[in-house]
Amino acid sequence: MRGRAPRAVGAGDRRRGAGCRGSSSGSTSRARRCSHVAGRDPHPDHHTPWVRSSTVTLRLTVAHSIVDLADRLADELARPLADPFATELVAVPGDGIRSWLTSRLGRRLGATGGGTGGGTGDGIVANVRFVFPGGLVRRALGRSAPSEPWSVGPLTWAVREVLTAEPGGELGIDADLVRCRAIADLFDRYALHRPLMIRRWENGDDVDQSNVPLPAHLRWQPALWRLLVDRLGAPSDVEATALEAVDLAAGRLVPDVPERVFLVGLTGLPGPHLQVLTALANQIDVHVLAPAPSLVVWERLREHSRTVPLVLPLMRDRDETVALAAHPLGRTWGRAAREAHLLLVGTAVETDASIDVTGETVTDEAVTGDSSSTTLLERLQDDLRLDRPPPGPPADGEPDHRMVQQAHDHSVQWHTCHGSARQAEVLRDAVAHLLEEQVDRRPRYEPRDITVLCPDPGVFGPLVDAAFRGDPDHGVPMIPLRVADRSLRQQNPVLDAAASLLDLLDGRFRVSDVLGFAALEPVARRFGFGPSELEMLSAWAVETHVHWGADAASQARVGLPDDLGAFTWRDGLDQLLVGAVMSDPAMAAAAGHVPADDVMSEVRFGPGSTVPVPDVEGDAVTVAGALADLLHELELATRALTTDATVERWCVAFADAADALFEVADVDSWQRGDLDHELAGVVAEATVGDHPVTAALPADQIATLVADRLTGRPGRVRFGSGSVTLSSLTAQRGVPSPVVCLLGLDGDLGTGSGAAAHDLMAISPCVGDRDPRGEMRAQLLDAVMAAGDRLLIFSNGVDVRTNAPMPAAVPLAELAEVIDHTVRPDHPAQSATRRLTIRHPRHPWAEGNFVAGALVGDGPWGFDRAARAAALSRRRQGPELALVTRSLDATSAEVVTLAELVEVVCNPCRTLVNRRLGVSLPREAVPPSDLLPLELDTLQQWGIKASQLGVRRAAGAGWSRHQQVWETAQRRSGAVPPLVAGDRVLASATSAVDELMAALEHECGLLAYAVPESVPVDIDLARLIGHAPSRVVGAVHGVAGDVVVDISPSRVRAERVLSMWVRLAALVAADPARQARGVVIGRPSTGDGVVTHRLSLRGPEVAGEVLAVVTDLHRRASCDTVPAFARTTRCLHEGDLAGARSQWTSHFGGEGEDEWVVMALGAIEFDALLGEPPRDDEPWGTASSRIGRWTERIWGTFDRTADWEQLT
């Protein structure tokens, strides 16, 4: 075992770890850099400079596999340093490879390990410090931190100050902070990848990297750079790095590193980093251990570099090494790796460095001979490793040299799904199948053997996390999962809430945003919102018609009148609070609420003409108060954070807002501390030179900078947990795993937000430049090569909205083409890609998930027993799936209500399912909308008309005096759209109600405006018809004199006619002397206008017959399905078979689509309904079908007992 004290693993700057410059704090003074030039040691306490020996050099080691490089590193680490207590320094590209490398080294270094002798895996890794490349470069130059003020954060403020102080605005650039941050980031990348161009700018030359003069519209960049150098009064980082590299090479600069350093697994290094490492190799051993996808291509690169000297910058379109790769994916996916190795090999050849190849050697026979691969994945990897192009389909008459794809070969699978959530579910099932595989009665894979890589863990992390929790009670296993590289915002609920608060600063206060903010954990804890309270808030938002805006001033800022009195949170809150006060009559009187008169008793106003929400009482009052507190604190926070201020004062205001809006448990106090740390970092960055920025700045610009910091910062990485690991493609790049799953490979991968028009790196790319598309393809290539046994790909196959097929992402299309050129299926009717593609159903309960062999392998795909039961239910849809498949025991109720009789003639299936079985149907809550309504849907229009109809019947001739009050109530409650759109709705409602009232006046005269009565009835059926139930009780509503009125904006259908028939029979049976008649007024069943139905019984004696038929229907419908469907049977009674079919099958309210009917009967077809024979206990009539018998029973009785007249 290496006898060294354990050391903490270094983190370094993550952006520099990816080959980019960082932005963390720290400084290196100009005086210190000058001391380097003068040969003075600015760090007298550091190690004495190493004495260079003949063996000190830059050592480049290349291998196909990162495993071989790790083993070479273990061999080197096994040889102790001269100082046994010195710390080894190993630079790695990311935390994923750091974690894997630590585990791998632990198998080689230790008590029974030993360097070249291998090991038993029982060792430890101690006193080895892992850093990122940027951290190694800084230590080589003797820097303790990224050089200020040239890191991105402080440089942003320097750019702003220069642009602000620029006389006359000659550069033509606004000093907007967001624009300044973009410029600082651009200059930071130039310094890292275009140092020669930057030095030419500093010398006064306005040229690009090829020394070509810049066009006029781009010359502001060198001019601004020179102004920055003058303003900061210190050498630029480019100049300082170049000078320090010279000093380092000459031995005048003492590096803060041990006598050897290692760089492992790097996919590329920027030019300045290579320059520093080359200089460092003059003092110590610098070991660069770089993986190469293909050693064959790498050898060609080395030969090319020996014959063609590398001259930088080399424009990408002039790179002759493109032709060195023969494999299609090697040319496209391997471009980034090829360019990186071209720079490495070129530097090594130029400096006469040691170059070594380790691991498996490549022979000419392996390249030109037949492959021994047994699976598709092995063949792909062999071809890429050996740069062997796939043979492709044969020409006519030529033999096919492609490998035969075996049916049992599942080494590569491509799962196409419907959306991201479905991808997560399919991934879970695929992993569950892998974990079930066994070899010699032992599991083939454990969770730690499976790696899931995706372009955006922020999107897929929560989806996969939810899917992998499983449902063990229904057979879905719970799979351990660790999302390795969540962003800081995703890991910290307080930071997530803080970022959401910044999103609210636009002032729109959209209802979805505020409700989402209230549901965040720290906010809900602060204001006491649980699940039930949040549902209440959502329902209130719908009821009070809140859409967006904090108050009327919010609406006025976008040009709306400030006197709408509706649609904002203030308006909705006023309705709630006034409703809470006015729910108590005493409190309502104290508040000054006095109804205008009995006519408008239902139109209530509180202070300020506020329309109160009814029934806000009990616990609801507490919730309304909490909502008021939340909105008040949000208003204060918005006011403070949208006021221009200094950076420090703005951050203090933000911290105060967080204290007022967030609350965490004591054990989670670190979450609040993280927010303070991030705000302190923002304040620390706001410096120019050594002076803080004290000017007041636009609040929105400061908020944007803070939001970018909260959103983009990486969180705490967690690898090696023993669980399935989900991470980005970058974090686990090149780390080998037995199973690699590529998730979410959709769209145009790697495009990002696109290059800016003024980005010189995008305008003229050079070899070694990083671009999103090239990086994404390089990461996919590394993932394919890192897969041990299985490569599983998950993507969208169809559009989730239109269900239309979606083309594969371009990189996947390239892979599919290579597969089709590499292997051929044993069945010629299919392509190889089609053979390995599994097209999953849209839903987890689809039948194909549970049919053996339908998707993958010989067994079913899905594990969810509940979903399987749902699939079986879908398969058996039809009459046999009816909720009631046999008659229930008859009821013995002695009393039946009139409401039950009315219900049964309208929908007998509802009586069976709801009344007898007690089954209720869920009602989907209406979600709040962020959009101001410009028109109302049909149901909302009906509500407005019904409201006016009720008021007008009560107002009578005095409607004109009350119309303005009613319309004001509709507007102030938000029930109608604003402005002229609301005028149109109200005018339309008034016109429709005018027609209804005209028809009612024609039928009833002055009784049209009489207050409708409810006449109680208590009918002794035993006396009247002589059978149980013995009594009918209830009330006949809408009675005006002797007229029973049913007036409504609804259409007059058969149900309303039968309902009036039953009510008339009950009224007459209760009082035979009453000369009652009924009037049904409404819209016609089709078309526009108004229709009136007059109805009267043919004598008091027929009332008993009507009640006898209806109570018998109620008795039968309470224990069996009865096909007495009002509209369908009416058409059959009139001989209109086509109309009956339409009334049953219509998708717009057809009786066969009714939810109660479907639950009772299943999805029964009309012809099946007509074909059902009558029961033995249904002897009436002569029809041959059961529905025909009930048609005769209901409508035959109707014709015998009632006079019915329809007027239009």
244-262 b/e (C-beta count within 10 Å ≥ 16 → b):
bbebbbeebbbbebbbbbb
pLDDT of amino acid 600: 53
Asked if the structure places residue 8 within a domain, the reply is no
Where is mean pLDDT largest: 307-311, 812-816, 1029-1033?
812-816
The domain that holds 272 is classified in CATH as 3.40.50.10930
In this predicted structure, the answer to whether residue 592 has a pLDDT above a threshold of 80 is no
What's the whole-number mean pLDDT along residues 240-249?
Answer: 90
Backbone Cα Rg of the chain: 40
933-970 b/e (C-beta count within 10 Å ≥ 16 → b):
beebeeeebbbbbbbbbbbbbbbeeebeebbebbbebb
From residue 469, how far is each of 423, 428, 459, 477, 524 by CA, in Å? Answer: 15, 9, 17, 8, 24
Same domain flag for 1196 and 1098: yes
- Of the candidates 1182, 1150, 1148, 1177, the one whose C-alpha atom is nearest the C-alpha of residue 1166 is 1150
SS (H, E, C) 667-716: HHHHHHHHHHHHHHHHHHHCEECCEECCCCECHHHHHHHHHHHHHHCECC
Asked if 266 and 782 touch (Cβ cutoff 8 Å), the reply is no
pLDDT of amino acid 395: 86
Same domain flag for 52 and 169: no
From residue 805, how far is each of 796, 832, 839 by CA, in Å? Answer: 9, 19, 11
> To which residue do tokens 């689509």 refer?
1153
DSSP string, 575-603: HHHHHHHHTSHHHHHHTT---S-STTTTS
SS (H, E, C) 1-59: CCCCCCCCCCCCCHHHHCCCCCCCCCCCCHHHHHHHHCCCCCCCCCCCCCCCCCCCCEE
Same domain flag for 229 and 262: no
Q: Using CB atoms within 10 A of its CB, is residue 866 exposed (0-12), middle (13-18) or buried (19+)?
A: middle
Helix (H, G, I), strand (E, B) or coil at 946: helix
Confidence of residue 19 (pLDDT cuts 50, 70, 90): very low
Domain boundary pick from 185, 202, 233: 233
Same domain flag for 102 and 55: yes
| Helix runs in 956-1053, H state only | 959-973, 979-1004, 1021-1024
DSSP state of 357: E
In this predicted structure, the answer to whether residue 1072 has a pLDDT above a threshold of 80 is yes
Asked if the structure places residue 789 within a domain, the reply is yes
pLDDT digits (tens, 9 = 90+) for 800-848: 888 888 999 999 999 999 999 999 877 766 788 888 999 999 999 888 9
Question: Which tops the pLDDT comparison, 790 or 926?
Answer: 790
Residues in the chain: 1208
Same domain flag for 62 and 161: no
Q: Using CB atoms within 10 A of its CB, is residue 421 exposed (0-12), middle (13-18) or buried (19+)?
A: middle
In this predicted structure, the answer to whether residue 14 has a pLDDT above a threshold of 70 is no
From residue 539, how far is each of 233, 279, 515, 543, 576 by CA, in Å? Answer: 61, 69, 11, 6, 12
Same domain flag for 782 and 825: yes
Percent residues over pLDDT 70 in the chain: 87
DSSP state of 209: T
Asked if the structure places residue 824 within a domain, the reply is yes
Which stretch of DSSP H or E encloses residue 1203?
Answer: strand 1202-1207
Beta-bridged to residue 291, according to DSSP, are: 63
The domain that holds 165 is classified in CATH as 1.10.10
> Count of H helices and E strands in the chain?
49, 26
Structure tokens at 1012: 């409708």
In this predicted structure, the answer to whether residue 117 has a pLDDT above a threshold of 50 is no
Asked if the structure places residue 980 within a domain, the reply is no
Asked if the structure places residue 221 within a domain, the reply is yes
- Domain containing 1077 equals 895-919+1008-1207
> Which of 44-58, 396-410, 510-524, 813-827 has the weakest average pLDDT?
44-58
* Sequence-distant (≥ 6) Cβ neighbours of residue 1138 within 8 angstroms: none
Helix (H, G, I), strand (E, B) or coil at 1164: coil
Question: Which tops the pLDDT comparison, 814 or 490?
Answer: 814
Asked if 411 and 379 touch (Cβ cutoff 8 Å), the reply is no
In this predicted structure, the answer to whether residue 111 has a pLDDT above a threshold of 80 is no
Same domain flag for 220 and 270: no
pTM of the predicted model, to two decimals? 0.81
Asked if the structure places residue 641 within a domain, the reply is no
Same domain flag for 58 and 19: yes
> Which of 112-121, 246-255, 1060-1069 has the weakest average pLDDT?
112-121
- Of the candidates 533, 545, 538, 544, the one whose C-alpha atom is nearest the C-alpha of residue 618 is 533
> Which of 252-266, 854-868, 871-885, 1145-1159 has the weakest average pLDDT?
871-885
Asked if 1032 and 1063 touch (Cβ cutoff 8 Å), the reply is no
In this predicted structure, the answer to whether residue 18 has a pLDDT above a threshold of 60 is no
Same domain flag for 140 and 161: no
CA dist 284 and 290 (Å) reads 19
Structure tokens at 130: 């892992």
Asked if the structure places residue 256 within a domain, the reply is yes
pLDDT of amino acid 219: 92
> To which residue do tokens 């099946």 refer?
1168
pLDDT digits (tens, 9 = 90+) for 47-102: 333 344 445 589 999 998 899 999 999 999 988 888 888 899 999 998 888 988 99
- State the Cα angle at 192 between 190 and 197, rounded to 5°: 45
Same domain flag for 214 and 71: no
Same domain flag for 830 and 728: yes
- Of the candidates 546, 715, 558, 706, the one whose C-alpha atom is nearest the C-alpha of residue 631 is 546
CA dist 403 and 1166 (Å) reads 56
Confidence of residue 780 (pLDDT cuts 50, 70, 90): very high
List Cβ<8 Å contacts ≥24 apart for 707-711.
707/499, 707/502, 707/503, 708/181, 709/678, 709/681, 709/682, 710/488, 710/489, 710/495, 710/498, 710/499, 710/502, 710/678, 711/487, 711/489, 711/499
Asked if 452 and 885 touch (Cβ cutoff 8 Å), the reply is no
What average pLDDT does the chain have?
86
Cis peptide leading into 255, omega within 30 of 0? no
pLDDT of amino acid 4: 34
Q: How many domains does the chain have?
A: 4
Which stretch of DSSP H or E encloses residue 365?
Answer: helix 364-368
What's the whole-number mean pLDDT along residues 114-123?
Answer: 53
Domain boundary pick from 185, 210, 233: 233
> To which residue do tokens 């959530």 refer?
421
pLDDT digits (tens, 9 = 90+) for 642-682: 999 999 999 999 999 999 999 999 999 999 999 999 999 99
What's the whole-number mean pLDDT along residues 1125-1149?
Answer: 93
What's the whole-number mean pLDDT along residues 29-54?
Answer: 36
Same domain flag for 107 and 174: no
Asked if the structure places residue 1183 within a domain, the reply is yes
Question: Which tops the pLDDT comparison, 43 or 569?
Answer: 569
Q: What are phi and psi of 1091, to 5 degrees?
A: -125, 145
Beta-bridged to residue 1051, according to DSSP, are: 1083
CA dist 1175 and 314 (Å) reads 91
φ/ψ region of 677 (left if φ > 0, alpha if ψ in -120 to 50, else beta) reads: alpha
From residue 658, how far is each of 525, 673, 877 by CA, in Å? Answer: 13, 11, 54
